[in-house]
Copies of this chain bind each other. A is one copy, B any other.
Amino acid sequence: MATGRTHRPATRSRGIPEATVARLPLYLRALTALSERSVPTVSSEELAAAAGVNSAKLRKDFSYLGSYGTRGVGYDVEYLVYQISRELGLTQDWPVVIVGIGNLGAALANYGGFASRGFRVAALIDADPAMAGKPVAGIPVQHTDDLEKIIKDNGVSIGVIATPAGAAQQVCDRLVAAGVTSILNFAPTVLSVPDGVDVRKVDLSIELQILAFHEQRKAGEETAAGDGALTAAAPRGAAADHSADQGPDGDVPAVMPA
């Protein structure tokens, strides 16, 4: 019984570690910003700071893609942007559908970060007949009945689920049956999918709960004996010490492969 086991037997030989893949978009974002400022080249140290990671890690990440740097100089920004984009598959157009046009679905439809990265919202789908035809973010909402046709007509392979938890699995099943092989799930449910289908989930309340855990620990520690170095006071220089600790675990993605 496959409970969404997206177990990948690893990328056979040409394996780019998952952790690296998860950071590539981060580098790409930083590089794009540099590109817009017409910066020609960047060192691993500078780029790492901009992306909020360790420079050694960045260099190792890039080494999986190939030797795209020049020793003594750094990396060519434009070239690297292209290489990473290609590696991530962003040089092609990815039509996506968003299912469940409630508050969150509508926000996602309006989110500009998609279009700017090669993702195109091909359709918005909702189960409420009253929503049908109503435009959201300039796109008319279509009814769930037409889900299969929409997927096929648009060649959609990536679906976003923003429905209530109760409807998620059913929607997921229909998406998969219609040909979708990658799903971004915002519903607070564990989705069950066949092999070959990737699921990533984002659960907003989970993120807050993790923060609450650490928050509680901080609060408890100040009463405990060990005053040590964790007292609030916190040096506010901030900027000085770059490479700031981005969270307790630096990198644990807010999202995990399901």
A residues with CB within 8 A of B:
1, 3-4, 8, 11-14, 18-19, 21-22, 24-26, 28-30, 49-52, 63-67, 82, 86-94, 96, 103-104, 106-108, 110-111, 113-114, 116-119, 157-158, 173, 176-177, 181-184, 188, 190-218, 224, 226-227, 229-230, 232, 234-240, 242, 244-256, 258
Contacts and interface: CB of A to CB of B under 8 A. Distances in A.
Contacts of A26: 190, 206
B206 A242 contact: no
Given A117-B209, A209-B88, A252-B63, A236 B202 contact: no
A236 B25 contact: no
A112 B214 CA distance: 22
- The count of identical subunits is 2
Contacts of A246: 66-67, 190-191, 199, 201
Nearest to A113: B205
B158 A18 contact: no
Nearest to A114: B205
8 contacts: A21-B210, A50-B190, A52-B258, A64-B252, A108-B204, A192-B238, A194-B236, A200-B210
A113 B204 contact: yes
Nearest to A201: B254
A235 B70 CA distance: 28
Given A107-B104, A192-B238, A214-B198, A209 B248 contact: no
A215 B182 contact: yes
A240 B176 CA distance: 16
A207 to B, nearest CB: 5
